Structure 1
Amino acid sequence: MNTEQKRKIAACAYNFIDDRDTIIIDDASSSFYLALYIKEHPEKRLAIVTNSLLAGNELAGLDHVDLYMIGGHVGGHLAATMGDDALENMKHFQVDKAFIGVHSINFDVGITSIATPQMQVKRVILNMSHKVYVLADSSKFGGGYLSVIYPMKDIYKIITDDSISTENIKKAQKENISLVIAR
């Protein structure tokens, strides 16, 4: 689960959020830690869209958060909305920044995933966001799944932990990918 790394990544990601930003947080565990961090740091007023019931539960009722829940079918091990209703609901939102977790980062092909309804949600997030931040602990690098969610050129920044290999840092630099290492 890499809990400590995900907490560091969340704290680092928070630094890229400006007061009064409109953001979306997906249903990944890394994104959930960002929701927890936002809950504990009320100094920024935010509008937050999410399909995660867990993140929504943490953010609901906070004075510094205007929360928008994406409707749809609830499924998956992360308690999130997905499916056609969720995808349709998402079309009505436009956000400054997206913060998403991923299954895998492969510098040759992009952000990859297993084919699931959650993958479809992640694809729509790209279209509704001005900047996409990928929250990925170092274990997510190098592999690959069957489905490509995003090409690397569509990612604004990847935020990871300090256990990332030198090889992956060099690959990111070679591909001109903005990689931020949380410490």
Structure 2
Amino acid sequence: MLAAQRKDLMLARLAGDGRIVAKDFAAEFHVSEDSIRRDLRELAEAGLCQRVYGGALPVSPAVADYSTRQTVAVDSKTRVAATAAALIEPGSAVILDGGTTALAVARALPPELEATVITHSPTIAAALGEHPSIELFMIGGRIFKHSMVASGAAAVEAAQAITADLFLVGVTGVHHEAGLTTGDADEAAMKRALSRRAGETYVLASSEKLGAASRYPVLPLHDITAVITDAKATSRAVQDLEIAGVRILGAT
């Protein structure tokens, strides 16, 4: 079998099964594991899969630049945002992550809501700057432009001084085995730091992020309260998460 044929089969397997195990794939098609690992490495370099120990997972589609992502899955993000915004009770304090879905949450907050929002995203802060009833706190640091958030040591240190009821976190991948993942190590560390400062952590996950993975782990699934998604309850990714013990909040 030619390498190009193997790669096509790998991509089809990723789409159908949500995972490739290199050892099993090699045995099934009677090729060496070294050949499979080389194929996976080349697919990963082309941005077509995310390599993990023993094989590969589907790559997250949420890797484009910030301005481009604002035009992707807009209706999906709007549904997720509306469900997330409804979780914020009057008088509560919420940490709102950066990213395009979090921006949709900020825009979905009703003008009469009196609450405290803590964010490390200048974009979120700007969106809430004219909200009549939101008390706004901003965490500073190095700006990671992909998600327009502050990260790095200074931001993580500043996060230790806050406490909140909820953390609404955005990630680029939600997978039943890999957990929550994102594409930058500093951003992942900042998300972990913020999650530790909140009573509950809810994941903002439009449907294209389910079943996908990025390079850097954020949190294991047992550390989150629920995943908010508009993916269909019958989808394999949702069912896999539920089998893993994850609570799903459907956004309709």
Query: So what's the TM-score if we normalise by structure 2?
Result: 0.68
Task: Give me the CA root mean square deviation.
Answer: 1.5
Distance 1:6 1:139 in 2: 10
Q: SS in structure 2 opposite 1:81? A: strand
Of the candidates 244, 248, 251, which is equivalent to residue 175 of structure 1? 244
Distance 1:165 1:121 in 2: 33
Matched, 1:13 2:95: no
Of the candidates 197, 200, 222, which is equivalent to residue 128 of structure 1? 197
Distance 1:87 1:180 in 2: 29
With 161-170 and 61-70 compared, the bigger mean Cα shift is at 161-170
**Residues 14 and 34 in structure 1, CA contact (< 8 A), matched pair in contact too:** yes
**Which position in structure 2 is the counterpart of 1:30?**
101
Residue deviations 1:29-50, cap 9 Å, x none? 1111101111xx1232110000
Which of the pair is proportionally richer in strand?
Answer: 1
Report the CA distance between 1:81 and its aligned residue: 1.6
Q: SS in structure 2 opposite 1:108? A: coil
Q: Which amino acid aligns with 2:251?
A: A
Distance 1:164 1:2 in 2: 18
**Which position in structure 2 is the counterpart of 1:2?**
73
Q: Which amino acid aligns with 2:85?
A: Y
Matched, 1:103 2:185: no
**Residues 28 and 100 in structure 1, CA contact (< 8 A), matched pair in contact too:** no
The unaligned stretches of length 5 or more in structure 2 are 1-71
Q: SS in structure 1 opposite 2:106? A: helix
Distance 2:144 2:108 in 1: 25
Distance 2:112 2:130 in 1: 15
Matched, 1:49 2:118: yes
Report the CA distance between 1:164 and its aligned residue: 6.3
Q: SS in structure 2 opposite 1:57? A: helix
Using CA pairs below 8 Å that are at least 6 residues apart, which structure has the higher relative contact order?
A: 1
Give the paired residue count: 181
Query: So what's the TM-score if we normalise by structure 1?
Result: 0.92
The unaligned stretches of length 5 or more in structure 1 are none
Report the CA distance between 1:86 and its aligned residue: 1.0
Report the CA distance between 1:15 and its aligned residue: 1.6
Alpha-carbon distance change, 79 to 114 in structure 1, aligned in 2, over 3 angstroms: closer
